[in-house]
Amino acid sequence: MRILMLGVNYRTAPVELREKISFDGDRLDHTLTGLCERYQSTQIVILSTCNRTELYVARPDGKPPNAAQLIEYLAAMGDVDAALLTPVSIQREGEEAVRHLFRVAAGLDSMVLGEPQVLGQVKRAYERAAACGAAGPAMHAMFQQAIAAAKRVRTQTGIADGRVSVGSVAADFAKQIFDRFDDKTIVAVGAGEMIKLAMRHMIKIGPGKLWVINRSVDRARALVDDLGISASTGGARAFDDLDQLLVDADVVLTSTGSRKPIIDVKRFRPLVRRRKHRPIFIVDIALPRDVAADVGQLPNVYLYDLDDLQKVVARTHEQRSGELEQCEQIVRDAVSACYEQLQNRDISELIRKLRELMHDISEVERSRTLRKIESSDAMAIPDAVREILKEHNHRMINKILHMPMHQLNNGGSDVPLGFYAAALRRLFGLDDSQESKPSSATAPAPPGPQRHDPPSPQL
């Protein structure tokens, strides 16, 4: 199997493009299913967060999809021009694709170095793909080992010490806008994990009022209870109260699952006069964005999205750079072990296929020879003789394959492990998606869409 990673992230693509190719819920399941049906025998995991959309693919050697086909598929799903997506996409193959996943899971490729949320996002992406039958053996190995390595990075280094999340950076940003918060009202729109994390930091700066609004009031109440917000300082509100809360708010944090903006100029312009031109600080940490970009052009509105937050996290990276080399070493060791395991699995499967091919050819030719002898001499060949010939052929095959098998299993100091494997695949037609058979064998019918049943991982 060939490992491929393709995607975009906060470094390569602006938020207005990332939000178009973000996936969650049914849209994610539909995309996984569609890719698996189009590219049979392919294993796929899609990681989609507020900062990245990445496809991890294990595909049969020499078979689609390639990077260009994945870009075309993503572009079609997001209704964007593939020509816009191609120059901002990142592509990794083989060990580099594995390394990229491990660094992402460990928070080493995050906007905020060492952020803990991405590990949970990686785990959920893998579990979702496994539940859909899209994650096969290679993806199981990659993601389970990436998750384990990320946990070691967090427990064996200080990379996660202190406040390292988009939510914490948003709180720091708010403190740069306002001198005090005891007379300020903070409104959280949404009740998901990002809002929860951000609100924990906002509570620490001591706001006068703190409200949580959500389409499900029950979820808003659950978050209020979880955060320990008392009735005297705020509480949960229905989504119908959004306009009034936007009038009262000094700080708004928003992160919902809406595919379209919930706050646009048409909605907010009339509220500016009702606010008596008081400044409002809006932090939109949703992807797709909850607040239309032109809202930030209205008077006294200070709107910041994920790309804006990226600009203020450089010092966090500087503070944590001392831990970085230790983290990278843990990742390097884990990647090396994982990729060797993936290659060994490929080698074992190749050896099995090569032996099977040789034995199939041997059986076809042995049967043909026996039939010729019987027809020419008009005599039946004893079963004992048949077995002697069969054993002779098997011993000959084993002797012929001994040295190739040794090289495949051990390689050489000056020869990459996969070099001989690639050559044998090409020479004998041993691709990963179908068995090579002798010419007299009947070809099997094409398989239908394949599901990869997951093992029972210990995560």
In degrees rounded to 5, what are phi and psi of residue 213? -120, 140
In the annotation, is 50 catalytic?
A: yes
Q: Which helix (H) or strand (E) holds 29?
A: helix 25-38
Angle subtended by helix axes 117-132 and 95-105, to nearest 10: 120
Tokens of 39: 């590219």
Gap between the Cα atoms of 35 and 26, Å rounded: 14
How many C-beta neighbours within 10 Å does residue 330 have? 21
Minimal CA–CA distance to 145: which of 344, 350, 395, 330?
A: 330
* Coil, strand or helix at 51: coil
Measure the CA–CA gap between 36 and 57, rounded to whole angstroms. Answer: 10
Angle ∠(149,152,155) on CA atoms, nearest 5 = 155
**Contact (CB, 8 A) for 133 and 451:** yes
Q: Which of 36, 50, 132, 327 is catalytic?
A: 50
Q: Which of the residues are catalytic?
A: 50
